[in-house]
A and B are shown apart, each in its own frame.
Chain A
Amino acid sequence: MERESDTPQRVTYAATVERMIESAPGTRSLFLRLPPSQHFTFIPGQFISCLLPLDGEPAIRPYSIASSPEEPARLEICLNLVPGGVGSRYLFSLAVGAAVRFTGPWGRFTLDRQPQAECVFLAEGTGIVPIRPMLWRALQSRDTYPLRLHYAAASASHLLYADEFERAAREQPRFTFAPLLGVSLVELVTQHYLAGDTDRTRHFYICGVGTIIPQLRDLLRRGGYERRAVHYEKW
């Protein structure tokens, strides 16, 4: 690609795969270690864009950061093996010690400081990934506003980080963890946050893949929640 000479060059980070775990069937967490010379900071919810050496030009594949900014030299990304997806196939083929180049951080779906309101997190599948550090950030504050996580997954074995969320819910009374198996988030939102409930002060953080995300967004906004109180990221 020809670049105009004035196009500024962004920083590219060069990490190595330190460890990987199968977090769920068909889902893998990669822990990326940055060299001490490279400092990386981000806001909970942001993603990195991996530059994958596939064909010709490096292919750009965005992955949300699953870890917290408090540990910036060691990033966790978590991804599904997508059928026919060359990016995920490449990352699944990497061994410990392999190099991964990326740019970032990117993205506006963030939670830096908890809003002065109840926060409801709606996650579907790997949509939990950016929400995890957002939730930890919110839990760090001394606010007393309730925090709720509704996490929809195909089965119990597909729930990522469930042990952590259960532990946090036991330790912090203001946090509720509600895994959702076999029930649609649309149904849940309609029942719990729209029908028969007049409180419209909550903030929502919604993440997942596909059309359910704009569907939830529209449902909440049309149901009376402030446009800017409904935060979402659709992949």
Chain B
Amino acid sequence: MAGSGVLALSRRGCYRTLGLCHRRNLNMAKLRVLFESGAPERTIEFDPAKAPFQHNGRPGSILDVLLSHGVHLEHACGGNCACTTCHVIVKTGEGKLSEAEENELDLLDRAPGLTSTSRLGCQAVIQDDAEITVLRPRFTINAA
């Protein structure tokens, strides 16, 4: 029985084990997705250290996490930072995303419905223990 194994450990060993668990929990990140369309929101918990989760976008990016957890986000260019169809609006936790590079900013410039917290899902990488909320805009389909 697993519990008896933990109990049998010395006080120091037990402490160390708990410490490891604690660190792992700290690394977990949370991504909450709201849908402008009114579809029910989704919350995804994941370990950023396990990225990439699939093959589109930067490893550990919003796109990577969403696609691998069954949430659709357009990515017409395959997540190569060449279009704006994965545009999302960050509601909270912006500081726990990788900084936008010039290529992303240049593309976002021309994204419909641009806001000051807009990001491209394929480029914004979620850091350890982040709690991010993003809004998926309704209209991205005809927006190259």
Contacts and interface: CB of A to CB of B under 8 A. Distances in A.
A31 to B, nearest CB: 22
With most chain B CB atoms within 10 A of its CB, the pick from A2, A5, A6, A106 is: A106
Interface stretch (B16-24, B34-42, B113-121): B34-42
B17 to A, nearest CB: 37
Contacts of B107: 108
A134 B42 CA distance: 42
B78 interface: yes
A2 B55 CA distance: 17
Q: Give the size range of B's interface with the partner.
A: 20 to 34
Contacts of A104: 76
A1 B72 CA distance: 7
Nearest to A9: B141
Contacts of A62: 76-78, 80, 82
A10 B144 contact: no
Contacts of B75: 60
A214 interface: yes
Nearest to A86: B55
Contacts of A18: none
B77 to A, nearest CB: 5
Contacts of A217: 102
A4 B33 CA distance: 12
- Most B CB within 10 A of own CB, among A2, A4, A10: A4
Contacts of A204: none
A158 B144 CA distance: 30
A3 B77 CA distance: 19
Given A5-B39, A8-B141, A47-B82, A106 B77 contact: yes
B51 interface: no
B36 to A, nearest CB: 10
A29 interface: no
Nearest to B35: A4
Interface string B60-79: 00000001001110011110
Given A60-B78, A107-B144, A233-B82, A214 B102 contact: yes
B85 interface: yes
Contacts of B91: none
A106 B144 contact: yes
Contacts of B102: 214, 217-218
Interface in B66-113: 67, 70-72, 75-78, 80-85, 102-103, 106-107, 110
Contacts of A6: 35, 37-39, 138
Interface of A: 1-8, 10, 46-47, 49, 59-62, 103-109, 214, 217-218, 232-235
Interface of B: 35, 37-39, 55-56, 67, 70-72, 75-78, 80-85, 102-103, 106-107, 110, 138, 141, 144
